Amino acid sequence: MSPTSEQHDGLPQYPPCDDRSTRLAETTETFDRRSLVRTPSPTPSEQVYLSRDTMVNRRAILTRQFWRKPKNIVKVALVVLAIAAAILISVFQTKIIEALAPFAVWMHETKGGWLIPIAILFVLSFPPLFGHEIIAILCGVVYGLGVGFAVVAAGTLLGETANYAVFRFFCRERAGKMESKKIFYACLARIVREGGFKIAIVSRYSAIPGHMTTALYATCGLGFWVFLAAAVLSLPKQFVLIAVGRLSADAGEGKGPKGANAISIVVSVVLGVATSAAYRYILWKMAFVKNDVIHQRRKERQGKVAFSASSDEVLVPCYKPDAWQPSHQAGASNSSSTIVSGDAAGGLKGVRA
């Protein structure tokens, strides 16, 4: 045993500690890297969300800055077009059905014609396509309530299941990037994971197309069986559209009430109210988790800064005699590190372990 080696409980110290390493240890400092990095301040976009209680600033649409951004103009135009299309379909529903009458008759008389609307609904289940409502009304005209509902239910469930699978397995990476960059999407993803079935069923009973919510929730991490249960329980909304189609057909033949258009308008109003309520509820849930989401984002940035800072330091083990531990304590916490000052680091040259 070398004269500079010390013994602890009858065991030699490992590694040996000579005078040079002892002097070097006196210039070292043990610290926890995480204690040197405080939680970063909120970014400007985070500060905007923290400064208000709601997720959406409705007054922003009245400012010039809002209309100077082309993407905002596109969003407003799409919303206006969607509302206008819904109103036009409700008002001119009878004329639309009359225009599709020849196709409806051909489909009804063709063997296996019921597969045609199922195939169309399957294709329309992938965003940004739309038109489920028209197909559902047409099925009500051609097949009536029973068979029409079965056809629409089959096409809807098959199409949206495929939609869920595509977005779940091929768009998750892109969704993860959006979640890390967009606070609004991050809050939405959080409430979908935590709210699950309740959030899914509320949104599906609104006027928002079901396949749109399916794509969104698949990328947010909603479980398949939760999605499927919500899709099945929201099928009565499709039944209403089928009933409207059947009433329109009966009214045209003089067999039923002539107020089919009025019924369609009432249904549209009810769906509009349900959509507004669902939208407000989802925004309220997002505002509830907003602060926690932003705090988590700041903590993630803190971890990245701490890792970057620690990788730039010169780290050496400290071989102080009083830091020796018996072998049965060798698995103790290793969270602290030793940093050597610049002058001491220069003295490492020529020191052999």
327 contacts: CB under 8 Å, gap ≥ 6: none
> What does the block give as tokens for 227?
């999605």
Report how far apart, in Å, the C-alpha atoms of 140 and of each of 152, 245, 269 are.
9, 5, 20
Contacts of 312-319 with CB under 8 Å at 24 or more apart are: 313/337, 313/339, 314/339, 314/340, 314/342, 314/345, 315/339, 315/340, 316/24, 316/28, 316/340, 316/345, 316/348, 318/25, 318/28, 318/30, 319/15, 319/17, 319/21, 319/22, 319/25
CA separation for the pair 117, 156 (Å, rounded)? 10
Please state, in angstroms and rounded to a whole number, the distance separating the CA atoms of residues 182 and 290.
12
User: Out of 49-63, 66-80, 224-238, 241-255, which region has the weakest mean confidence (pLDDT)?
Assistant: 241-255
The span from the CA of 286 to the CA of 10, in Å, is 63
Which helix (H) or strand (E) element contains residue 155? helix 132-170
Residue 291 has pLDDT above 50, yes or no: yes
For the full predicted model, state whether its pTM sits above 0.75. no
Q: Are 242 and 136 in contact (CB under 8 A)?
A: yes
In terms of Cβ atoms closer than 10 Å to its own Cβ (0-12, 13-18, 19+), residue 167 is: buried
Rounded mean pLDDT of 17-36?
Answer: 47
Q: Report angle CA 131, 134, 136 to the nearest 5 degrees.
A: 105
pLDDT at 158: 92
Backbone φ and ψ for 273, nearest 5 degrees, come out as: -65, -45
> Is pLDDT at 254 greater than 70 in this prediction?
no
**pLDDT of amino acid 167:** 86
Q: Look-up: residue for tokens 């509009």?
A: 272
| Burial per residue of 122-147, b for 16 or more beta-carbon CB atoms within 10 angstroms, e otherwise | bebbbeeeeebbbbbbbbbbbbbeee
Name every residue whose Cβ is closer than 8 Å to that of residue 158 and which is 6 or more positions away in sequence.
118, 121, 122, 125
Mean pLDDT of 248-277: 68
Region 179-199: mean pLDDT is: 82
Q: Please, are residues 42 and 291 in contact by the beta-carbon 8 Å criterion?
A: no
Residue 104 tokens read as 């409806």
> Is the pLDDT score of 50 beyond 70?
yes
Within 13 Å of residue 221, how many CA atoms lie on the same side as its CB?
15
Which segment, 5-9, 107-111, 153-157, 323-327, is predicted with the most confidence on average? 153-157
pLDDT (mean) for 343-348: 44
Q: Indicate the average pLDDT of the chain.
A: 72
SS (H, E, C) 121-150: HHHHCCCCCCCHHHHHHHHHHHHHHHHHHH
In this structure, what token pair is assigned to residue 31?
């610290």
Contact 342, 313 (CB under 8 A): no
Contacts of 53 (CB under 8 A, 6+ apart): 287
Q: pLDDT at position 311, please?
A: 53
Q: How confident is the model at residue 216 (pLDDT cuts 50, 70, 90)?
A: confident
CA distance 117 to 51: 49
Rounded to the nearest 5°, which phi and psi values hold at 190? -65, -45
The mean per-residue pLDDT over the stretch 322-350 comes to 43
Max mean pLDDT range (78-92, 218-232, 311-325): 218-232
pLDDT over 70 at 144, yes or no = yes
- Alpha carbons within 13 A on the beta-carbon side of 259: 5
Neighbours of 191 (CB within 10 A): 21
